[in-house]
Structure 1
Amino acid sequence: MFAATNQFITNIDLLVLAAYVLVLCLVGWWAGKKEKVKSDDYFLAGRSLPWYVVGTSQVASNISAPEIVGAIGGAFLYGICIAVWSWGNIMSFSLLIWLFIPFLLASRVFTIPQFLEKRFNPSMRLFFAIVTILANVTTFLAAVLYIGGLTLREVMGMKVEASSFMGLSMDWNLLIGIIVIAFFSGIWAIYGGLRSVAWTDFLTLVFIIAGIIGISYFGLKSLSGDANSLLEGWNIMLERNEAQTGVWKEVVEQHAESVAGPGHTSYNRLSVVQPLTHKVIPWPQLILITFTISIWYNVINQFIIQRILGAKSQWDARMGMVLAGYLKIVLPFLIVVPGLILFATHPQLLKGEFSTLGPIADGAYLTLVKQYLPVGLVGLFLAALFGAIQSTVNSVLNSTSTIFTIDIVKEHIKPDISEKAQIRCGIISSAGFLLLAVVIAYGMFYFSDADIFVYVQSLYSFFAPPFAAVFLLGILWRRINGKGALWAVSLGFVLGIALKVCVGMGVFDNNFFPWLNSFLNQAAVNWAFCMLVCLVVSLMTEPPPAEKVADNLTINWRKLNIFDGVSGSKWYHNILLWWGIFVVIIIALVIRFW
């Protein structure tokens, strides 16, 4: 079953990978060994996380295997516009730093559903809790485990072992790979809670950055030929991605309509500004993505925001997000550049029908690893990829079990559950959700022609808009009530399903609103619809009671002072200073690649 077919890792690489796993285990054990007497010890690390752990853990948990594998493959297919998924965080990070963090910390909640109950009603809490659990298991955990299983199968040189089981074709090596990845990835979330998760994330990010830098460094050196120059390799990479000549121009023109939309004969791979009908990032999303997806992902997504809820102070929470912003500047260069390098060196891989290129794009990172990384660095890259997998699995498991325990079990099943029983429930539910994710991850084998990057992002665009709309309105305006919020999210999910059905039936093809084939444009329409429903229903019904619009739940514009506690003890601790530099750099990058 484990016979090698294309094994390309050496014993040295395996030693590097084993050393990483050993260090990771030591850090996870050290961080999680503290006795967990209270539930916030397990679920929120005792609210003790320093800023550098908040920031690095937020980014490490965000850079999952689909982000690395998918973004490299996405850049190979679509170009530099994939960087918008990182650079576009500037607005949601800024809103989080200056407006939302004070409310989230002042409310002293464990979970975002708790906050939504305080601001709206218990129905919103239950609705969001259920949707979050579903999204975490299907969108985050399953996709990450699937990519992890594929990677383990490929790097270990396992055959694609297909056999029949109860009428289904089974790839047993893939299933074993998923199970192995699930076990080693989920163990620290189950054992140590958020404290183990956050500190292992801190270590993981170092390996992620080091591993991906290696591919770009050796790839650019190889592109430069005898010059052996990074700058020369960079210039050649950009020139070939302009696709003005040769096979590069040929494949861009071949897939122009599939990428940019009907009527397009070409597209600019080196621009973040893409046509309205672009498959992945149409130009309005340079702004709208903040409101349709980023607010949900970065502000009310439990597995991301849990680090902020676990911060030891408001200054640590804010400065942690500033650090995350700087890392988001750097990461696209680390993740997108390898995809551009592969297009520059192997454009012929894009010949063929666009619908068949998903697996090729998802395998792009392995092509680069095999071609460019020397002995030892292959192990480092695999450690980085494994780190990204375990970081996301740990984070998602911890947040999912937190919501299940606090918002489902304690709220609706056993209100008198003790602190220790809550911890026990978190451990057991983590194991259960991990097992369910393994089953769903393997189920993705039967849809393996799908582009993993598009799969994940399209699910984001389905889950995010309704909640992003009502959360933003609820924070900004006291007149918004629970009825308006509940009607908005309910009808929003109905509209989201209807749009997906219409795309599947080809309703938007040709000249009938073809721009609605883009999942991000669908998200924008859904978000605007939910905003309207929430406003109309709220204004047609009674105002919310006073306790639902207290100053710790909505913005009091008369008392607003966003600069409280931003200076720190020294000038270089000033949050406003470092946030301002971050904003300037992002604006400069967008202008450069306009």
Structure 2
Amino acid sequence: MNFLNSMAFVAITFVAFTALVAIISWWKTRGDNLDTQDGYYLAGRGLTGAIIAGSLLMTNLSAEQLVGMNGQSVRIGMSPMGWEVTSAIALVILAFVLMPQYLKTGLTTVPQFFEERYDAGTRRLVSLIVLLSYVVIMLPNILYAGAQVFVNIFDLDALLGISEFSAIALVCVLTAIVGSIYAIFGGLKAIALSDSINGLGLIVGGLLVPIFGLIALGQIHGGGFMEGLDALINTDKTLLNAIDAPTLNEPYLPWPLLFTGLLINNLYYWATNQSIIQRTFGAKNLKEAQKGAVFAGFLKIMTPLIIVVPGIIARLMYTNVGDWGSGDNAYPMLVADVMPKPLLGFFAAVMFGAILSSFNSVLNSASTIYALDIHRPTFNPTASDSHMVKIGQNFGTVVAIFATILSPFMLYMGGITTFVNSAFAAFNTPIFVCLICGFFWKKVPSIAAKVVIPVHVVLYFFLQFFLRNQISWLENVHYLYFTAVLFVFDMLLMYVIVKVKPRPTDYVLEDAKAVDLTPWKHGKFWATVTLGIMVLAYIVFSPLGIGA
């Protein structure tokens, strides 16, 4: 029994599960042709709904959410669940509005559409913006958040006798090395398969945290799991209310934003972000893509049990903590205290898998965008597919090194989730506006995107970082309100551009005949069920349910 509680057993189970995922992924993809564009970047257009859903979830759900969102919930309660639960709306829109358009064009990357619909300059502009966000924001934060979990759970800085910064840097380097092997040498199919396996592990391991947390909370109140559940529900009902007042600032999520700024943010992330929808581009047909998107929406409604509730449990358990600061230490602290040692290695492995899946997915997408949207059209238009795969691999190596160097410095950026979300808000809205108008507004001219995108970015930074510091009543306005207002502005600007200089001929979306476009027969029924469950979740966590 002592061996089961030892660090040696933790290390063995961690390595064993991590190796098992790698071996299964290698075995399933060992005969795949990775020398072609579709084979390497789109998994040969053969992904099924279950694989797509698992990969969508795992690409999104990483230590960044586990640490950052539990860090928010330990401070303010249940309202951060809105980031997760309302994602179902965006995923349903992706499945039935945008996915038929995407697959009809046979795209490999989103920027490809911007060249087809607008022009080559727009494609390069969008590609550079997305690449910059991946390299400077997403990849370093994925590595940092994962490293912080491991450092706090295993107390690595004390164990190794080094500073917290050095311990985080060490874990970032190790994570980047393993993740780069998947992304650079395995292609999308290896990533998607490992995501699905790790996804099952994360669901099991992630649910163990609130279960053991409630047991520990119950023991404080002289009982067990049921007493802990009673304490969670009845100690402070305000923590279980997900409906925030309209005037609150971040990290709160005012309820009007659920259908305005947050919806726009989610539509960009789930329906336009290359690192997310690349796996839907790899679907074997429209039916499987729609299944994957809808099932992912259902799973997102369930994820607050893993990435929000543990933060509230930590708030109720650690009553001696006066100021949680950013809150980013709450989740690692809870895991270290409540997770039984024999299970700690397995949990560490699925956590590591979550970090890897997000890191290698974003890295693979960055390589895809550079190779196909920047390098080929700019430097070598006649390059073969095998050459472009090599270019993507080389670029991925450089990006991985740069992001790894940058990642430990995220320690000084404050709350992870707030930093990432506010940074993305600068450019996600105009890209989504240009995409949606490009698909469904036939008269939008090529100049529109090159006007809307830079104007939006300038206005956002002006509002967020200058004007709000000059006008007192703007100081505490949530940045997603700026997103909502600027979305309306972008649409009006697009309307003016169309009226002043309409496209000479209507845009026609050509069918590339890449995959079968027969829709999922029962898709709309299951989408309705999913959205109904989303509404029910908000009823439960409101004054109508168990909140106050």
Match for 1:334 among 303, 306, 309?
306
197-206 or 64-73, which moves further after superposition? Answer: 64-73
The 8 Å contact of residues 62 and 304 in structure 1, kept in 2 or not, is answered as: yes
**Given the alignment of the two structures, is residue 17 of structure 1 paired with residue 14 of structure 2, yes or no?**
yes
The 8 Å contact of residues 89 and 290 in structure 1, kept in 2 or not, is answered as: no
Distance in 1, Cα, partners of 2:6 & 2:475: 46
Match of 1:310 in 2: 282
* 1:290 Cα deviation from its structure 2 partner: 5.1
SS at match of 1:193: helix
Match of 2:332 in 1: 366
Distance in 2, Cα, partners of 1:222 & 1:172: 32
Q: TM-score, normalised by structure 2?
A: 0.91
Sort the Cα spacing of 1:291 and 1:212 in 2 relative to 1 into closer, same or farther, 3 A.
Answer: closer
Cα displacement string for residues 509-528 of structure 1 (whole angstroms, at most 9, x for unaligned residues): 4xx23443x22122222222
SS at match of 1:348: coil
* 1:171 Cα deviation from its structure 2 partner: 3.7
* 1:479 Cα deviation from its structure 2 partner: 2.5
Match for 1:274 among 245, 257, 273?
245
Q: TM-score, normalised by structure 1?
A: 0.84
Distance in 2, Cα, partners of 1:347 & 1:156: 23
Match of 2:474 in 1: 513
44-53 or 148-157, which moves further after superposition? Answer: 148-157
The 8 Å contact of residues 232 and 313 in structure 2, kept in 1 or not, is answered as: yes
Q: Structure 2 matches for 1:378-457, cutoff 5 A? A: 378-445=344-411, 447-448=412-413, 450-457=414-421
Cα displacement string for residues 557-594 of structure 1 (whole angstroms, at most 9, x for unaligned residues): xxxxxx95322xxxxxx222221211111111122223
Alignment root-mean-square deviation, CA: 2.3
The 8 Å contact of residues 45 and 193 in structure 1, kept in 2 or not, is answered as: yes
Q: Structure 2 matches for 1:344-355, cutoff 5 A? A: 344-349=316-321, 351-352=322-323
Distance in 2, Cα, partners of 1:545 & 1:432: 42
Distance in 1, Cα, partners of 2:510 & 2:45: 22
Match of 1:255 in 2: none
300-309 or 523-532, which moves further after superposition? Answer: 523-532
SS at match of 2:209: helix
The 8 Å contact of residues 80 and 242 in structure 2, kept in 1 or not, is answered as: no
* 1:508 Cα deviation from its structure 2 partner: 4.2
Sort the Cα spacing of 1:338 and 1:508 in 2 relative to 1 into closer, same or farther, 3 A.
Answer: farther
* 1:228 Cα deviation from its structure 2 partner: 4.6
**Which letter does structure 2 place at the counterpart of 1:506?**
N
The 8 Å contact of residues 257 and 263 in structure 2, kept in 1 or not, is answered as: no
Match of 1:205 in 2: 199
Match for 1:375 among 329, 341, 357?
341
Distance in 2, Cα, partners of 1:338 & 1:592: 17
Match of 1:174 in 2: 168
Distance in 1, Cα, partners of 2:446 & 2:263: 20
**Given the alignment of the two structures, is residue 530 of structure 1 paired with residue 490 of structure 2, yes or no?**
yes
Distance in 1, Cα, partners of 2:305 & 2:316: 16
Q: Structure 2 matches for 1:90-169, cutoff 5 A? A: 90-159=88-157
Sort the Cα spacing of 1:474 and 1:241 in 2 relative to 1 into closer, same or farther, 3 A.
Answer: farther
Distance in 1, Cα, partners of 2:230 & 2:470: 43
* 1:273 Cα deviation from its structure 2 partner: 3.4
* 1:318 Cα deviation from its structure 2 partner: 0.2
224-233 or 68-77, which moves further after superposition? Answer: 224-233
Distance in 2, Cα, partners of 1:443 & 1:162: 20
Q: Structure 2 matches for 1:196-235, cutoff 5 A? A: 196-225=190-219, 228-235=223-230
**Which letter does structure 2 place at the counterpart of 1:417?**
A
**Which letter does structure 2 place at the counterpart of 1:273?**
D
Distance in 2, Cα, partners of 1:150 & 1:277: 29
Match of 2:325 in 1: 357
Match of 1:58 in 2: 56
Sort the Cα spacing of 1:333 and 1:154 in 2 relative to 1 into closer, same or farther, 3 A.
Answer: closer
SS at match of 1:272: coil
Match of 1:26 in 2: 23
**Which letter does structure 2 place at the counterpart of 1:302?**
Q
* 1:162 Cα deviation from its structure 2 partner: 10
**Which letter does structure 1 place at the counterpart of 2:234?**
E
Distance in 1, Cα, partners of 2:471 & 2:9: 53
**Given the alignment of the two structures, is residue 501 of structure 1 paired with residue 496 of structure 2, yes or no?**
no
The 8 Å contact of residues 216 and 337 in structure 1, kept in 2 or not, is answered as: yes
| Higher RCO by CA contacts (8 Å cutoff, separation 6 or greater) | 2
Match of 1:550 in 2: 509
Distance in 2, Cα, partners of 1:336 & 1:153: 21
**Which letter does structure 1 place at the counterpart of 2:17?**
Y
Consecutive unaligned residues of structure 2, counting only runs of 5 or more, are 543-548
Distance in 2, Cα, partners of 1:162 & 1:463: 42
* 1:170 Cα deviation from its structure 2 partner: 9.7
Cα displacement string for residues 37-88 of structure 1 (whole angstroms, at most 9, x for unaligned residues): 3111000000011110011101111102111111111111121111101111
* 1:231 Cα deviation from its structure 2 partner: 4.0
Distance in 2, Cα, partners of 1:58 & 1:465: 21
Distance in 2, Cα, partners of 1:227 & 1:155: 26
**Which letter does structure 1 place at the counterpart of 2:132?**
L
Distance in 2, Cα, partners of 1:528 & 1:429: 37
**Which letter does structure 1 place at the counterpart of 2:23?**
L
Consecutive unaligned residues of structure 1, counting only runs of 5 or more, are 1-7, 164-168, 244-267, 554-562, 568-573
Distance in 2, Cα, partners of 1:274 & 1:28: 46
**Which letter does structure 1 place at the counterpart of 2:254?**
P
Q: Structure 2 matches for 1:447-486, cutoff 5 A? A: 447-448=412-413, 450-486=414-450
Match for 1:237 among 209, 232, 238?
232
The 8 Å contact of residues 162 and 172 in structure 1, kept in 2 or not, is answered as: no
Distance in 2, Cα, partners of 1:134 & 1:31: 33
Distance in 2, Cα, partners of 1:188 & 1:91: 31
Distance in 2, Cα, partners of 1:544 & 1:441: 48
Sort the Cα spacing of 1:224 and 1:170 in 2 relative to 1 into closer, same or farther, 3 A.
Answer: closer
**Which letter does structure 1 place at the counterpart of 2:93?**
L
Sort the Cα spacing of 1:96 and 1:50 in 2 relative to 1 into closer, same or farther, 3 A.
Answer: same
Distance in 2, Cα, partners of 1:82 & 1:418: 46
Match of 2:257 in 1: 285
The 8 Å contact of residues 66 and 306 in structure 2, kept in 1 or not, is answered as: no
SS at match of 1:284: helix
Cα displacement string for residues 128-148 of structure 1 (whole angstroms, at most 9, x for unaligned residues): 111111111122111011122
276-285 or 413-422, which moves further after superposition? Answer: 276-285
**Which letter does structure 1 place at the counterpart of 2:334?**
L
Q: Structure 2 matches for 1:486-497, cutoff 5 A? A: 486-497=450-461
Identity %: 26
The 8 Å contact of residues 183 and 361 in structure 2, kept in 1 or not, is answered as: yes
* 1:506 Cα deviation from its structure 2 partner: 2.5
